[in-house]
Amino acid sequence: MKRATLRDIAQALGVTVATVSRALKNYPDISTATKQTVLAAAERLHYAPHPMAVKLRQQAYKVVGVVVPDIVHPFFSDVISGIVDVMEALGYHIILSQSNESYEKEIRVTQMLQATGVDGLLVCLSNETVSIDHLRALQEYDLPVVLFDKISPLLDASSVVTNDFQGAYDAVAHLLDQGYTRVAHLKGPPHPENTRQRFLGYQAALAAYGLPFRPEYVAECHTVTHDEGATFARRFMALPEPPQALFAVSDSVAIGAITALKEAGWRVPQDMAVIGFSDWSVCRMLEPSVSSVSQPGYDIGRRASELLLREIQQLREELLPEHSRVVLDATVQVRQSSQRPVGG
């Protein structure tokens, strides 16, 4: 016989999964009548807690799930290092999964992690993710979810992000302060909140310096790759009035743009200045060295882990989890690719 779930009981009674869960745990804010009704339905439907979940509540295991779009991405490698250092110090095991920037795969891996019986989830949303019903459903099962980097304002959850707006504003202001007045932007996909904030920061800097927004100087990346950076840089070079400088949504896009510029015989930064976002270590090794906005990936991992551990403990103490939003500073790292030559 198939094991009934909390959702089965909730649907049978016309109440929420959270109400069923709290009734079965004898929470004081659930009435005695509701508790008796839920217990009767649980017995009638042959409900039994998942054995892995029982072991977790008994703290026989300490496991958290981590979902990132790309495990080998330099930024996410830094984030994962921060997570590992916090979690392993407290005896937690980590199950790491990647969504490959796919909404459908994100749903599958988060459901798999729940079925595995993790204590909580740390999730960076995919570029395709708009609806967050799959994560809200996990919360209804008393599974804590903390978002980082790419988050959604639609989910009532703790989050840790870089100040993407300020980082983008400062990057564009750096270009404008040197006298570049025609600044283009290779923006990210429309759904992720972080790429949207970077676009808004770009627009705000132009407005603050009294410069018009020129749609022909904006191109939207879909895969946020080196190839897209190269493709759109060629498009900008072909304009009747090409931009003097370029702010890219990521370092991979910025490096792709520099590659295309150099292949076309353009000098960086003399003919077009370029600055990226994330500050991969490779930025310091290239010629020219690549300016970028530094994201504190390791600190993002640490802070997100601390928030998740707090919520796990609150649930074990049968307290309602407290959600927090942490915003960490971004810092412009100026290198050769965006520094106007003296007398240039």
Question: Over the stretch 198-217, which tens digit does the pLDDT of each residue have?
Answer: 999 999 999 999 999 999 99
Please name the residue ranges forming H helices in the chain.
Answer: 6-13, 17-24, 32-44, 51-57, 74-89, 103-116, 133-140, 164-177, 193-208, 226-237, 251-263, 297-316
pTM for this prediction:
0.82
- CB of 181 within 8 A of CB of 138? no
pLDDT of residue 23: 86
Which backbone phi and psi does 59 adopt, to 5 degrees?
A: 60, 30
Domain 164-295 top-level CATH class: alpha beta
Mean pLDDT of 31-58: 75
Tokens of 19: 């109400």
Which backbone phi and psi does 321 adopt, to 5 degrees?
A: -65, 140
How confident is the model over 167-186, as pLDDT tens digits? 999 999 999 999 999 999 99
Q: C-alpha angle 214/219/223, rounded to 5°? A: 160
Domain with CATH 1.10.260.40 in the chain: 6-56
Give strand pairing partners of 245. Answer: 183, 273
How confident is the model over 286-317, as pLDDT tens digits? 999 999 999 999 999 999 999 999 999 988 77
Instruction: Tell me the percentage of the chain whose pLDDT exceeds 70.
Output: 94
* Residue 198 burial (CB count, 10 A): 29
Domain with CATH 3.40.50.2300 in the chain: 63-161+297-328, 164-295
Of 57-71, 84-98, 165-179, which gets the smallest average pLDDT?
Answer: 57-71
pLDDT of residue 154: 94
What amino acid occupies position 125?
L
pLDDT, averaged across the chain: 92
| Whether pLDDT at 128 is above 80 | yes
pLDDT of residue 163: 98
- CB of 113 within 8 A of CB of 95? yes
d(CA 151, CA 130): 10
d(CA 303, CA 263): 42
- Domain 6-56 sits in which CATH superfamily? lambda repressor-like DNA-binding domains (1.10.260.40)
Domain 63-161+297-328 top-level CATH class: alpha beta
pLDDT of residue 1: 46
Q: How confident is the model at residue 321 (pLDDT cuts 50, 70, 90)?
A: confident
339 burial class (0-12, 13-18, 19+ CB within 10 angstroms)? middle
Sign of the four-CA dihedral 219, 223, 225, 227: negative
* Residue 190 burial (CB count, 10 A): 12
Q: What is the signed CA dihedral for 175, 177, 178, 184, rounded to 10 degrees?
A: 30
User: Terminus-to-terminus CA distance in the chain, angstroms?
Assistant: 77
Place of tokens 């980590």: 94
Tell me the three state secondary structure of residue 328. Answer: strand
Q: Which of 264, 298, 303, 304 is nearest to 278 (CA)?
A: 298
Instruction: Give the long-range contacts of residues 10-19, CB within 8 A, separation 24 or more.
Output: 12/41, 12/45, 13/37, 13/38, 13/41, 16/140, 17/137, 17/140, 17/141, 18/140, 18/142
Give strand pairing partners of 160. Answer: 148, 326
Q: Which of 131, 105, 109 is nearest to 121 (CA)?
A: 109
